[in-house]
Amino acid sequence: MQCNLEGLSGWIKNSFIDFPGTVSTVLFFSGCNLRCPYCHNCSLIVFPDDMSGLSNKVWDFLEKRKEVIEGVVFSGGEPTLHPNIKEIIKEIRKIGYKVKLDTNGLLPDMIGEFSPDYLALDIKTDPKLYSQYLKAQYNNIETRLKKSLSIVKKMGGNAEVRITVAPRIVTRDIILGLRDLIEGVGLVYLQPADLTRGVLDQSFFKSVDPVTKEEVAEFQELLEPAVGSCVIRE
Ligand code: SF4
C-alpha cells in the first residue's frame, strides 16, 4: 500500500518538455511560501480539500506505465513544503522512476532531502525584495537562495536556474545584482512572464510598462558572461 500523495492538486499524465531528456509525468503540489503577483497557479498556492482519490489514480498509473514514463516531476505550488515528500519520493524511486524538482529554493534543506536527479530553481528577484514584492515570510532570503544555488552548481548539467521576467520584479539593476548571485551556474533560462491571462495580482502591474523583447535580450547579454549559458525561453 503506497503512501497518500498528500498535497497533490494537479497532474499532467504525459510530458515531453518538463524534464529535460526524459518522458515524464508531472505532479502539482499545493501550497506556496510566496505570493508572486504573476503567479498563474493561483489555485495551487493554498492547500485544497482532500485529493486522496487522485492519489490512488497516480500510483496506479505509475505502476502500469513503467515502460513508457521515465521520470516524475514535482511541481506546484512549492513541493518542498510537504512533510511527507521524502516518503513519497522513496516509493516513486522504488518503482524505478527518476525525480525532478521545481522549486523556489527557499527551503534548501528540503532540496537536500529530495536529492533530485534534476533540479529547476526559480530565482525571482533581488533577495531584498522578496518580502515586499512576493510576500515572503523569511528574513534570511539571501542565505537560503545561496544555499540552494550551491546545490545547483554542484549538480552541473542536471540543474538549471529560471528567472521569470516581469515588470518591477526584474529590472536591469536587479539583473546586475542577480548576476553576482548566480555566477557559476551552468544553465540559466530567462522566461518572460505572461501577464495576459489570469494572474494572482494584476494591480501590481498597473501603470507599469511591459518588459520589451529588447530589454530581455539585454538581460541575456548581461548574464551570459557570468554563467555557462543563458537562454531566453518564450
Ligand atoms: S509563481 Fe510564485 S506564488 Fe506561484 S507557485 Fe510559483 S513560487 Fe508560488
**Concatenated DSSP letters of 145-212:** HHHHHHHHHHHGGGEEEEEEE-TTTS-HHHHHHHHHHHTT-SEEEEEE---SS--S-GGGGTT-PPPP
User: What is the enclosing helix (H) or strand (E) of 55?
Assistant: helix 52-64
Taking 70 as the threshold, does the pLDDT of residue 204 lie above it?
Answer: yes
Considering the domain boundaries, does residue 1 fall inside one?
A: no
Ligand 1 centroid – CA 227 distance (Å): 24
CB burial of residue 135 (10 Å; 0-12, 13-18, 19+): middle
Main-chain phi, psi angles of 102, to 5 degrees: -100, 125
DSSP string, 8-21: EEEEEEEESSSSTT
Full domain range(s) for residue 127? 8-232
Considering the domain boundaries, does residue 199 fall inside one?
A: yes
Task: Judge contact between 36 and 134, C-beta under 8 A.
Answer: yes
Degrees to nearest 5, angle at CA 75 with 70 and 77: 165
Three-state SS for 119-143 is EEEECCCCHHHHHHHHCCCCCCHHH
What's the full length of the chain, in residues? 234
Considering the domain boundaries, does residue 3 fall inside one?
A: no
Ligand 1, CB within 6 Å, residue ranges:
32, 34-36, 39, 41, 45, 76-78, 104
pLDDT in tens, 172-191: 999 999 999 999 999 999 99
Main-chain phi, psi angles of 227, to 5 degrees: -130, 170
Q: Is 75 helix (H, G, I), strand (E, B) or coil?
A: strand
Read off the CATH number of the domain in which 105 is found.
3.20.20.70
User: What is the enclosing helix (H) or strand (E) of 67?
Assistant: none
What's CA 222's distance to the chain center, in Å?
A: 23
What would the mean pLDDT of 83-99 be, rounded to a whole number?
A: 92
Considering the domain boundaries, does residue 183 fall inside one?
A: yes
Main-chain phi, psi angles of 85, to 5 degrees: -65, -35
Question: How many domains are there within the chain?
Answer: 1
Considering the domain boundaries, does residue 116 fall inside one?
A: yes
The residue whose CA is least distant from atom 6 of ligand 1 is: 77
Global pTM value: 0.95
Considering the domain boundaries, does residue 146 fall inside one?
A: yes
Considering the domain boundaries, does residue 223 fall inside one?
A: yes
pLDDT in tens, 108-158: 999 998 899 999 999 999 999 999 999 999 989 999 999 999 999 999 999
Ligand 1 centroid – CA 64 distance (Å): 31
Considering the domain boundaries, does residue 133 fall inside one?
A: yes
User: What is the enclosing helix (H) or strand (E) of 93?
Assistant: helix 85-95
What's CA 133's distance to the chain center, in Å?
A: 18
Query: Which ligand 1 atom sits closest to the C-alpha of 76?
Result: 5
pLDDT at 92: 95
pLDDT in tens, 37-90: 999 876 666 655 556 678 889 999 999 999 999 999 999 999 999 888 889 999
